[in-house]
Structure 1
Amino acid sequence: MSDGKVCRLATRKSPLALRQAEIVSKLIRSTMNVDVELLPISTSGDQRLDWNLQDKGGKGLFTKELESALLAGEADLAVHSAKDLPTDSPEGLCLSCFLEREDVRDVLVLREGVVSPKVLASGSPRRVAQLKNRFPEANWIEMRGNVETRLKKIALYEEADGTILAAAGLRRLGIERYAGLIFEHLNVEEMVPAPGQAAIAVQTRLGEEHKFSGLGHPATEKAVGLERRVLEVMGGGCQVAVGAFSDSNYLRFFHQKTGFLKLDARNYSEEELTDELIGRIK
């Protein structure tokens, strides 16, 4: 930390990212008795709203600049949405912990009065693949921007009939309803979440991870660790339609080749579970 009393926290500039940074800051202040200084950074993914995330690879576009600040010594930690993180950390960095995860579900957002949407907005292959059976006639487009911007594009500008958002993001922003829109929470077997969805990740320089490891939530860390391992063995990124959600009993999995799978995780190791999934894909 810069002087032993101030912790410099790198975060994206979006309202949701800043809210997540505030959650971590509050926890640091209450448990470590140090002050926190936010370092808001605009990432390439934030700046280039004209980019198609599938074409650009998605993963890393919202993290690279924060990681550069860590490596340069400008920040002591970086806060990320765990689902945005690549499965490998840059040399010299590591993940310190994952905070207790929020509501892991996805939310289908439709404009009021829309029953059979003609145009749905999502740049996530995972979400598109899982909702195609429900809305086989819908055309899918990518819609960029923060949560508020996307809601406005649906409700006011009618750029699409609906979209899909993470319940955790909506809750952290305090958005329970929005004029002109209907929110439907999708259960985790209808829409398997992204690996790490709803969890906040803390990243540090290698060798300093112990400073913030006490902020972590053991059950979340175990679950997200398995989900990220699944993503890694699937060669996943934003371009691959992979969903994985682990609780204390089951691993729920979605892949464009297998569809939905539910594996009993109670008596199997992480390696056994991932081997089983690899066998199903082949």
Structure 2
Amino acid sequence: MPTQPAGQAPVRIGARGSKLSLAQAGMMQRRIAEALGADPLDAAQVERVAPLIVITTTGDRVQDRRLLEIGGKGLFTKEIEDALLDGRIDCAVHSMKDMPGELPQGLCIAAIPEREDPRDAFLSRGPETLEDLTQGAILGTASLRRQAQSLHRRPDLDVQLLRGNVDTRLAKLEAGEADAILLAYSGLRRLGLGHLPKSLIDPKLAPPAPGQGALAIETRVADRDLPWVQALRCHPTTVAVAAERGALVALEGSCRTPIGAHAWLEGGTLKLIVEALSPDGRLRFRREGQTEVAQLAAPEASARDLGMGLGLAIRAEAGDAIVL
């Protein structure tokens, strides 16, 4: 039976305490343990070599306001990043879409594993699609991007703030607080709830959040190329996410800017769609582009440049129209 390499200290994994975060962290915990020589099916071995440490973030504690009102998406990562910088944990598992464009000095996204389905999921108590909702129906979401994209398609909808974890949002839908909600399909699948959506949103028509469906393994910069870190990396996902996050940085993406980006590989060609909208959905700015990455020594840099270029073009055209 595999054993932990002699002298290898446990890799302490930090994660939020939500059911989805724990499911995602558990997946990575088993992968990390296996890379360290443990049996991923032996729970005791896994916990010994890659213990999971739950950290509550400000984003988890404050559930009655939009993130932009209390400091933005970094509130899902700050306390965990503090633990990384203090040496209390050795890596963190985040949803990539929660990661700000810029990270604290000394930290990096060291690995991006294989991506789940990046699409948004439409859930309701009846209608099959957004277009099927009745006039003035209530759509629940905490995402400014989903609000803007939905209002672009259906300006008559009454979009209401709906925060909370997946179970909370599903319960609010069932209780009638909204006629429909939008959630990341990847999260539903990881929770074993992939059967719940009525339909899925085409990512080329309404691009999801940059990095949606992907996980980010964050470490200290000095640890970024350790063997167990390298074992987690997925090259195609890393390249696609680099393009999407390039657009995010160019557009100064935050919870105050509705931004969608969807990148995918077709053979050796990376294709990317970026869009930004006015918060009320009336205005939409889109750019599409592609670049050949198959033969490049540094495909991530080329992908990031593609995203930056499309993002900057949108920013030049849109100006302040896309900022809440």
Give TM-score, length-normalised by structure 1: 0.91
2:108 to 73, 94, 97: 94
Residues 177 and 89 (structure 1), Cα distance of their counterparts in 2 relative to 1, 3 Å cut: same
User: Does structure 2 conserve the Cα–Cα contact (< 8 Å) formed by 1:119 and 1:162?
Assistant: yes
| Other-structure match for 1:174 | 192
User: Does structure 1 conserve the Cα–Cα contact (< 8 Å) formed by 2:73 and 2:254?
Assistant: yes
The code of the aligned residue for 2:247 comes to V
1:263 to 275, 289, 292: 289
User: Does structure 2 conserve the Cα–Cα contact (< 8 Å) formed by 1:194 and 1:244?
Assistant: yes
SS of 1:61's partner is helix
How far the C-alpha of 1:46 sits from its partner, in A, is 0.3
The code of the aligned residue for 1:209 comes to R
1:208 aligns with 2:229: no
Distance 1:44 1:273 in 2: 30
| Other-structure match for 1:21 | 25
1:176-255 pair list within 5 angstroms: 176-178=194-196, 183-211=198-226, 212-248=229-265, 249-255=270-276
1:47-86 pair list within 5 angstroms: 47-86=61-100
1:6 to 5, 10, 21: 10
How far the C-alpha of 1:272 sits from its partner, in A, is 5.0
SS of 1:251's partner is strand
Distance 2:82 2:111 in 1: 19
- Decide which structure has greater strand share: 1
SS of 2:25's partner is helix
Distance 1:46 1:277 in 2: 30
Residues 280 and 149 (structure 1), Cα distance of their counterparts in 2 relative to 1, 3 Å cut: closer
How far the C-alpha of 1:166 sits from its partner, in A, is 0.3
Residues 159 and 258 (structure 1), Cα distance of their counterparts in 2 relative to 1, 3 Å cut: closer
User: Does structure 2 conserve the Cα–Cα contact (< 8 Å) formed by 1:189 and 1:260?
Assistant: no
- Over 6 Å off, 4+ runs: none
* CA-to-aligned-CA distance 1:220-247 (integer Å, 9 cap, x gap): 1111111111100111112111111111
SS of 1:231's partner is helix
Structure 2: give runs of 5+ residues left out of the alignment: 39-48, 278-282, 294-298, 317-324
Rg larger in structure: 2
SS of 2:11's partner is strand
Give TM-score, length-normalised by structure 2: 0.80
How far the C-alpha of 1:183 sits from its partner, in A, is 2.1
SS of 1:263's partner is strand
How far the C-alpha of 1:196 sits from its partner, in A, is 0.7
User: Does structure 2 conserve the Cα–Cα contact (< 8 Å) formed by 1:62 and 1:84?
Assistant: yes
How far the C-alpha of 1:251 sits from its partner, in A, is 0.3
Residues 213 and 87 (structure 1), Cα distance of their counterparts in 2 relative to 1, 3 Å cut: farther
| Other-structure match for 2:43 | none
Distance 1:273 1:45 in 2: 28
User: Does structure 2 conserve the Cα–Cα contact (< 8 Å) formed by 1:54 and 1:123?
Assistant: no
Residues 276 and 76 (structure 1), Cα distance of their counterparts in 2 relative to 1, 3 Å cut: closer
SS of 1:154's partner is helix
Tell me whether 110-119 or 55-64 shows the greater mean CA deviation. Answer: 110-119
User: Does structure 2 conserve the Cα–Cα contact (< 8 Å) formed by 1:83 and 1:195?
Assistant: yes
How far the C-alpha of 1:4 sits from its partner, in A, is 2.3
How far the C-alpha of 1:128 sits from its partner, in A, is 1.2
How far the C-alpha of 1:48 sits from its partner, in A, is 1.1
Number of equivalent positions: 277
Give the superposed CA RMSD.
2.1
- Decide which structure has greater helix share: 2
Tell me whether 189-198 or 269-278 shows the greater mean CA deviation. Answer: 269-278
User: Does structure 2 conserve the Cα–Cα contact (< 8 Å) formed by 1:105 and 1:185?
Assistant: yes
Distance 2:314 2:152 in 1: 21
